[in-house]
Chain A
Amino acid sequence: MNASKIVIAVNRFGLGARPGELDRVQRPAAWLLDQLQGPAREPAVFRDLPDSARVLTEARDLRREQREAKRNDEDVVRKYGRWARRNYVAQTAARYRHAVETDGPFHDRLVHFWSNHFAVSADKQPLPAIAGLMENEAIRPHVGGRFADLLLAVEKHAAMIIYLDNQRSIGPNSPLGKRAGRRRPDQQVGLNENLAREILELHTLGVDGGYTQRDVTTFAQVITGWSIGGAGDRGRFADGEPGRFEFREAIHEPGARQLLGRRYAQAGVAQGEAVLRDLATHASTARFVSTKLARHFVADDPPPGLVDEMARAWLESGGDLPTVYEAMLTSDEAWDDGQRKYKSPHDFVVSTLRAFNHVPERPQFIVGALDLLGQTPFRPGSPAGWPDTAEQWGGADALYKRIEFSNQAARLIGSGVDPVELGAAVLGTRFDPDTRRAISRAESRIQGMTLLLASPDFQRR
């Protein structure tokens, strides 16, 4: 029993076993919970990255250069593209290097889960250059803390504000909104509901969480002025340090607001903060997010009893995330050997690299592989993030591409390893005798390794 619990702790709740990891874990649940404090100091791979303030300062300088250059100067356009790509690749490389090397894989899996829950997508500028930084700056420090702090850090991060357009949302009755309305009555100046809607629908209450279109509009009014420094290249939005959260009173819709049955009389930024803190401990949020956690870790259709326990722990602890994780890890359902998740492409690639204990020299290998497998890093394509069920990842062609990747990985990095030994080292008690037999009969080590990586045993966690 304990042996199979160790395999589940390492493969289902961790990121997949590195050779030797199964032998090092003694008490599975304690091993997981001990990781929640995170590393004592920020890992060097992340410390070495330029932060979002610096990256967005560079972005501003590049835009200025573009404006001053002749129109359509191709060199400058290319320079911007290279710069964005360089940042994207560096952040992706750091994320996956850490995922392969970390001794706290449960902590890292939680980081990836929350990063996907609060998805930004690197498909509009300048998101490719900062999407990965939101994960390090807003999510990583808070996954072992309170949900309210995580929520506030994310909604105030430059990547989220830019991705969902909130720096452009202007209160019609704000000082600036009124002036613009008088000066250019033909031009629309006003609200953009994007961030407000997605906070309610995707980050907190869930689409069935009991809010109305009026709540969305009111909430959009509440968070007008939630902007970033250097939101414009010149003029009144240019002030503030680029990339840092900046509350702009001049475009904030003034006045008390009624939202979800509560009155918020606060002025300025405190109003939005109060709403977010209430949303963080709302019963709908507890249920919606607990369901997503249970779906991610335990089963595509999570056991209702487990979700109930987690939602109760959420509400009783005021959204203390370690308490919620613990409610999951102390339930029997979480350790049910019959419940096995089909790995996402991200899970599959990370667990493959951990099995080989190998960080590719060229990070483009990881980007290219995940792109091909349908899960380009930091680019889910929508604020809903990547889906988390086998149904969504289980296309025939998607499986074929996993086989191709297995074949490629076996050729590139797995040719020196005995596939039967590796299978035993990373799958432990879950190494199916039929899989072992098929691998041992393979015509080459590469073929055997391809079979191991593509086997149902390895494709599930």
Chain B
Amino acid sequence: MLTRRKLLQALGLTAAANSLPGLALAGGTSEARLVLVVLRGAVDGLALAAPYGDGNYRNLRGELALQRSDLLKLDGLFGLHPGLPGVHARFRDDEAIVVHAVASPYRERSHFDGQDVLESGGTSVGRLRDGWLNRALAPLSGSSEIAIALAQNTPLVLRGDNSTTSWAPSRLPDADDSTLGRLQRLYAGDEFFATRLSQALRSQDIATGMDSMSGRRGNEAQQFGELMTSAARFLVAPDGPRIAVVELGGWDTHANQGTTNGALANRFAALDRGLDKLRDGLGDAWSDTVVAIVTEFGRTVRVNGTRGTDHGTGTAAVLVGGAVNGGRIISDWPGLGNADLYEARDLRPTTDVRSLFKGLLEQHLGLSAGFIDRTVFPNSAAAPPLEDLVRS
């Protein structure tokens, strides 16, 4: 396993590394929090932030076009979906950025491969077996895990050599300490089991006091809200993790995706409420926080035969948080004219999502550009970091 110590040794550096420029903590603060929200299923970016000011939008989107009067206005071109009032309030407080016409380097249309590329940070499927956020942890990891997946099983983006932990609400009574102690000894000879149990026990300690989570199952939106409240608890705990990964599925709107109401609107509302819960739970730490909300790819510009949209390419991403230098749209808008579309059907991507991630790692977590280019996102020279994402 590549520990921080081994990395430092490999680079010929000693304990003084923290004070050296270039390796770690150049610009960021140790209080910085990063929450990555992975929306699985391919979010329709043209519904998340609708380009109402583009002359082709109403025509191409047909019955799924959002009315200008229903949208939460961002600027003269874009309006947010009405299911996202919280994000809109943050935008007006200069705490949110919408990045539009964004995509990973992946150009096919399989969810599973698309998520693989988004999370591995590679340029194509299967090139990298671990996650970019895990690789980014090397200079940051201390004695306890700095990153947590709020999920039963760790998603790819956080899998890899650097130690992370995971937690999800439980509905069963705990096994007693005696049994757990015996299991720790029984597992001692088997690394797979031993490391996982010790990580789980550390998370369990932090989560004590979350009794209201157990034994209760609300609807999925409520569960996502509770998950975000739990994420906030982890992120404010002394010596707790500072980076969290949360997932929300249900975005694959092939049929009846709806406009102001319906399946997609409900998803946006669940996301919006979850973000509010996170902000409430973080309290003062909100001002040190960036939440990055991303998805594997977008959806077709035109409506399909079943009032939905099929798998596409370019989509939108959102940054929200007290540390975000917000109130802005970042978009080199490609337009929706027939010649502008990717393969005559999808929003053409003009921003590489890795540019977004690279900007955050550099400006918010203080990683050096060299480390990011070498280790976190190899072969990403074509995707320079987005600038000024974080308040200085």
A342 to B193, CA, bound (A): 10
Residue of B nearest to A123 (CB): B250
A116 to B165, CA, bound (A): 28
B5 to chain A, nearest CB (A): 22
Q: Is B9 an interface residue when CB atoms closer than 8 A count as contact? A: no
Residues of B within 8 A of A450 (CB): 175, 179, 183
Residues of B within 8 A of A393 (CB): 153
Q: Is B159 an interface residue when CB atoms closer than 8 A count as contact? A: yes
Q: Is B305 an interface residue when CB atoms closer than 8 A count as contact? A: yes
A405 and B172 form a contact (CB under 8 A): yes
- A window 352-406: CB within 8 A of B: 368, 372-374, 381-382, 384, 390-401, 403-406
A193 to B305, CA, bound (A): 9
- Of A168, A189, A396, which one neighbours B165 at CB under 8 angstroms? A396
Q: Is A53 an interface residue when CB atoms closer than 8 A count as contact? A: no
Q: Is A435 an interface residue when CB atoms closer than 8 A count as contact? A: yes
A450 to B113, CA, bound (A): 38
A255 to B284, CA, bound (A): 65
A403 and B151 form a contact (CB under 8 A): no
Q: Is B154 an interface residue when CB atoms closer than 8 A count as contact? A: yes
- B window 78-119: CB within 8 A of A: 108-113
A390 to B113, CA, bound (A): 19
- Of A190, A368, A404, A459, which one neighbours B175 at CB under 8 angstroms? A404
A269 to B362, CA, bound (A): 57
Q: Is A188 an interface residue when CB atoms closer than 8 A count as contact? A: yes
Residues of B within 8 A of A456 (CB): 186-187, 190, 192-193
- B window 323-362: CB within 8 A of A: 343
> In the complex where A213-B343, A456-B187 touch, is A407 in contact with B305 (Cβ < 8 A)?
no
Contact count A vs B, C-beta below 8 Å: 155
Residues of B within 8 A of A397 (CB): 151-153, 166-168, 200, 203
Q: Is B197 an interface residue when CB atoms closer than 8 A count as contact? A: yes
Residues of A within 8 A of B195 (CB): 396
Fill in one digit per residue for B137-156: 1 if any A CB lies within 8 Å of its CB, else 0.
Answer: 00000000000010111100
- B window 180-195: CB within 8 A of A: 180, 182-183, 185-187, 189-190, 192-193, 195
A192 and B203 form a contact (CB under 8 A): no
Residue of A nearest to B145 (CB): A396
Residues of A within 8 A of B378 (CB): none
Q: Is A62 an interface residue when CB atoms closer than 8 A count as contact? A: no
A188 and B303 form a contact (CB under 8 A): yes
A396 and B179 form a contact (CB under 8 A): no
Main secondary structure, interface of B, reads loop
The 8 closest A-B pairs by CB, nearest first: A190-B305, A395-B153, A400-B200, A396-B199, A407-B175, A396-B200, A404-B172, A396-B196
Q: How many residues of A contact B (CB 8 A)?
A: 56
A168 to B185, CA, bound (A): 57
A193 to B41, CA, bound (A): 15
Supply 15 further A-B pairs (C-beta < 8 A) apart from A404-B170, A451-B182.
A170-B305, A186-B62, A188-B62, A190-B305, A192-B305, A194-B254, A197-B109, A395-B149, A396-B197, A396-B200, A397-B166, A434-B186, A450-B175, A451-B183, A456-B193
B338 to chain A, nearest CB (A): 17
Residues of B within 8 A of A197 (CB): 109, 311
Q: Is A299 an interface residue when CB atoms closer than 8 A count as contact? A: no
B152 and A395 form a contact (CB under 8 A): yes
Q: Is B6 an interface residue when CB atoms closer than 8 A count as contact? A: no
Residues of A within 8 A of B302 (CB): 188
A435 to chain B, nearest CB (A): 7
A455 to chain B, nearest CB (A): 6
Interface residues of A (CB under 8 A from B): 165, 168-170, 172, 186-194, 197, 201, 207, 213, 342, 368, 372-374, 381-382, 384, 390-401, 403-408, 434-435, 438, 442-443, 447, 450-451, 454-456, 459
B190 and A382 form a contact (CB under 8 A): no
Residues of A within 8 A of B201 (CB): 400
Residue of A nearest to B129 (CB): A391
A408 to chain B, nearest CB (A): 6
Residues of A within 8 A of B110 (CB): 201, 207
- Of B197, B255, B311, which one neighbours A168 at CB under 8 angstroms? B255
Residue of A nearest to B263 (CB): A124
B189 and A434 form a contact (CB under 8 A): yes
User: What bracket does the count of chain B residues touching chain A fall in?
Assistant: 35 or more
A207 to chain B, nearest CB (A): 5
A451 and B306 form a contact (CB under 8 A): no
Q: Is B238 an interface residue when CB atoms closer than 8 A count as contact? A: no
A191 to B307, CA, bound (A): 11
- B173, B179, B182, B311 — which one has the most chain A CB atoms within 10 A of its CB? B179
Q: Is B3 an interface residue when CB atoms closer than 8 A count as contact? A: no
A405 to B171, CA, bound (A): 10
A447 and B182 form a contact (CB under 8 A): yes
Residue of A nearest to B168 (CB): A397
> In the complex where A194-B254, A382-B111, A434-B189 touch, is A188 in contact with B307 (Cβ < 8 A)?
yes
Residues of A within 8 A of B183 (CB): 403, 450-451, 454
B200 and A399 form a contact (CB under 8 A): yes
27 pairs, CB–CB < 8 Å, chain A vs chain B: A168-B306, A187-B63, A188-B62, A188-B63, A191-B304, A192-B308, A197-B109, A374-B152, A381-B249, A382-B41, A394-B153, A394-B196, A395-B151, A396-B199, A396-B203, A397-B151, A397-B167, A399-B193, A400-B196, A400-B200, A400-B204, A403-B179, A404-B170, A404-B175, A438-B182, A442-B182, A459-B193
Residue of A nearest to B109 (CB): A213
A406 to B255, CA, bound (A): 41
Residue of B nearest to A456 (CB): B190
A400 and B173 form a contact (CB under 8 A): no
Residues of A within 8 A of B303 (CB): 188
- Of B108, B186, B249, which one neighbours A438 at CB under 8 angstroms? B186
Residues of B within 8 A of A172 (CB): 305
- B window 58-77: CB within 8 A of A: 62-63
Q: Is B178 an interface residue when CB atoms closer than 8 A count as contact? A: yes
Residues of B within 8 A of A392 (CB): 153
B200 and A438 form a contact (CB under 8 A): no
B63 and A186 form a contact (CB under 8 A): yes
Residue of B nearest to A192 (CB): B306
A255 to B104, CA, bound (A): 38
Q: Is B310 an interface residue when CB atoms closer than 8 A count as contact? A: yes
- Of A194, A394, A454, which one neighbours B192 at CB under 8 angstroms? A394
A207 and B113 form a contact (CB under 8 A): yes
